Structure 1
Amino acid sequence: MRFVTAASGLALALLMCTTLPAHADAPAQSRQQIEKVVEKFRLAIVNKDKDNFMKLFLREDITWAAAYEDASLDRIMARRTNKALPRPKKIVGGSPREFIDDIAKATEPLEETFENVRIDADEDVAQVWFDYSFKAGDYRENWGKEAWHLVRTEDGWKIASVIWSMKLNPNPPPAAGAK
């Protein structure tokens, strides 16, 4: 067994302190890189850009799940003409690919906005939590809280999971009321 003398221990501590500043900047650097991922996500929706959207994800089969607000599910049921159909599921899934494919098919401009973005990260893993609103044209379709987990790969930060709550707009879109 090797013992560390006080002098060698002090030298080791001083050596470690001189390397700490490089690591101390990593969370700030991680934050900036993750903020860029958030903006790329937003822009890919606005631009209906499937390729750049899919590059943001660790894999295509990540966790992708929404939890509908109970009042929103009640409104869906109330609007149905066939009340015998089962109540919609509270939790719905899908994939990033299905999401961006639907976005790309839409004829109206779409946008997801992010507010109160909170990022907790070290150099290798992160979580992002924010308030979101999803708009089709000028109509705010739904909103809620959204959370992502990210991992830093050789190719940069990648989204490993996306979950969100969903409150549907109680007012139908203007075009729906005109029909």
Structure 2
Amino acid sequence: MLIRLRAIGSAIAASLILLAQPAIASTAEDTVDVPHLIAAYHAAVVSHDGARLTALFVPTGSAWFSVLSEEGLARARAKSPATTKIRPGSLKAFAKLVATSNSAFDPRHTDLRIASDGAVATVTFKFEFLIDGKVQNRGAESWQLIKGDDGWRIVSIVFSSTPPAI
């Protein structure tokens, strides 16, 4: 099933509802369906809740990769010619950043699409990642999800990266 949601779609509306709730949402509530999982991810990042963010992923074996866009790669290589296009990351590193940063984070998602057969799902969207109100990265992102006995979990995140010109 393919669901296409516009910029202010169900997941964004759900995230606004979740943001109005206390930060003590349970993992069971966060992972009941894909839109809740997306909203919980956003709420965890905005509220600097690294533990909540981590609970949205499979406990082991997750993948996290970014690939610089041609524009981003050209700018990066102008400063450092050895810059690699494909960059592995990790949930652990991102969750630590989320939990320890004093900056205001706001991951914005548009053109959201969810494809699922009820057991696995792919979520794709365009994103802008704002830090202290300024866009620090933008691109396209894809999540792979699986549904276990305890709800939906993120298995992998892959995204293109176009940091702003400085």
Question: TM class, shorter-chain normalised?
Answer: 0.7 to 0.9
Larger Rg: 1
Query: Does the 8 Å contact 1:73/1:87 carry over to 2?
Result: no
**Which of 106, 109, 119 pairs up with 1:111?**
106
Counterparts of 1:63 and 1:93, CA distance in 2 = 8
- Select the structure with the greater relative contact order (CA < 8 A; seq sep ≥ 6): 2
1:67 corresponds to 2:67 = yes
What residue identity is the alignment partner of 1:98? A
Scaled by the length of structure 1, what TM-score is found? 0.71
Structure with a larger share of its residues in strand: 2
Scaled by the length of structure 2, what TM-score is found? 0.76
Q: Which moved more, 1:148-157 or 1:54-63?
A: 54-63
Residue of structure 2 in register with 1:91 after alignment:
86
Cα deviations by residue, 1:108-130 (Å, 9 ceiling, x for unpaired):
10111111110001121110000
Counterparts of 1:120 and 1:157, CA distance in 2 = 13
What residue identity is the alignment partner of 1:132? F
Task: Give 1:1-179 correspondences, 5 Å limit.
Answer: 33-78=33-78, 80=79, 86-170=81-165, 172=166
What residue identity is the alignment partner of 1:96? L
Deviation of the 1:75 alpha carbon = 1.5
Structure with a larger share of its residues in helix: 1
Counterparts of 2:38 and 2:152, CA distance in 1 = 10
Q: Which stretches in structure 1 are left out of the alignment for 5+ residues?
A: 1-31, 173-179
CA RMSD of aligned residues (A): 1.5
Deviation of the 1:60 alpha carbon = 4.1
Identity %: 26
Residue of structure 2 in register with 1:5 after alignment:
none
Cα distance change of structure 1 residues 96 and 60 upon mapping to structure 2, 3 Å threshold: farther
